[in-house]
Structure 1
């Protein structure tokens, strides 16, 4: 079955471009599009897409508010949201992740990366571009991270903490494997254990958790 995608962006040309790219794929289907966050919430609840490709700055209700209503904590039957934005909106990255976004991409990403991002999020994994994570770290580390390291109260082994720190640094599984000289399958196992122990939905929530707890050096 095709992955159903809803596109929400206030720029008609971008919506049309995303829709065209998505519909050209045999495993993807654009089931709707809209230009504001309130319409995105209403359409998502009616059409039940597998993924909403969400812009941040939109009228009526912005992408962060829409994401919170669709995927935030306590939302029954949440919808997966892939936020797509530009670096000049990077002040919204952290808030979008806290709102429940499952992924974050830049608008200048190549089409193949957007398509893979949709598939990744639809499959239940998370997508956070390493450059977005590093931008987040550089700009907001002092604001979102407490002064002291509170990792002592985290129920993870030293190795799991090490993997969590590398995730929060924006490393992919392949990069973590190369850094720790272990296999990618072992990295996947560590990531799965971390999410289970901390009761986190996905890798994105793990990044936010790491900064809020002061785990990242």
Structure 2
């Protein structure tokens, strides 16, 4: 009989943890571990609504301290969240709407075999992200994807679309003063002359 894959499930929400654990516990291919046996895990599954600050901290801890391969089961994921999972060496992303028993077990077995799991519609986003990493790596002195925060990226993208300060403030639910302060911080940090220069600079380096 094949060995069962030891899996550790992480979720701050006990309902999410119980749901995934219940689906896996009855399957002969999988051994669901308790926190006392965390070190034995071959696969770690992180179950979250979104990849927020708390989820990112957990993913970075697992990246640093655990030899297990990590998968994320997530309710909502966007480009920035996918970027974070790549940087944290996550090997599988599964939408919660797709997290049925067979799908979960298939993902666990794939992770245990060294494979990656990604929804088809996120593949293009991932390839775009990799392309930007490659372009950034061509200039070792240039900015990297960690140069800008997600909200700085959002603002610069809106400026590139022709929006003014008031429109950006309304769209992102910030005050105009906050928008001006954030954009001033970007131009100062990157030694740029103005907003147009900032947009052109980060677009050339593939950051937006």
Taking structure 1 as the reference length, the TM-score comes to 0.51
Q: Does 1:98 align with 2:87?
A: yes
What is the number of residues matched between the two proteins?
Answer: 137
Q: Does 1:123 align with 2:105?
A: no
Cα distance in 2, alignment partners of residues 69 and 19 from structure 1:
21
* Structure 1: gaps of 5 or more residues: 33-42, 151-212
Closer, same or farther: CA 23–66 of 1 in aligned 2, 3 Å: same
Q: Which has the larger radius of gyration?
A: 2
Q: Does 1:62 align with 2:54?
A: yes
Taking structure 2 as the reference length, the TM-score comes to 0.53
SS of 1:146's equivalent? Answer: helix
CA deviation profile, 1:144-185 (whole Å, cap 9, x unmatched): 56389x6xxxxxxxxxxxxxxxxxxxxxxxxxxxxxxxxxxx
- Aligned-residue CA RMSD (Å): 3.5
Partner of residue 133 from structure 1, selected from 112, 120, 123: 123
* Structure 2: gaps of 5 or more residues: 139-204
Cα distance in 1, alignment partners of residues 36 and 70 from structure 2:
10
Closer, same or farther: CA 147–89 of 1 in aligned 2, 3 Å: closer
User: How far apart are 1:134 and its partner, in Å?
Assistant: 2.9
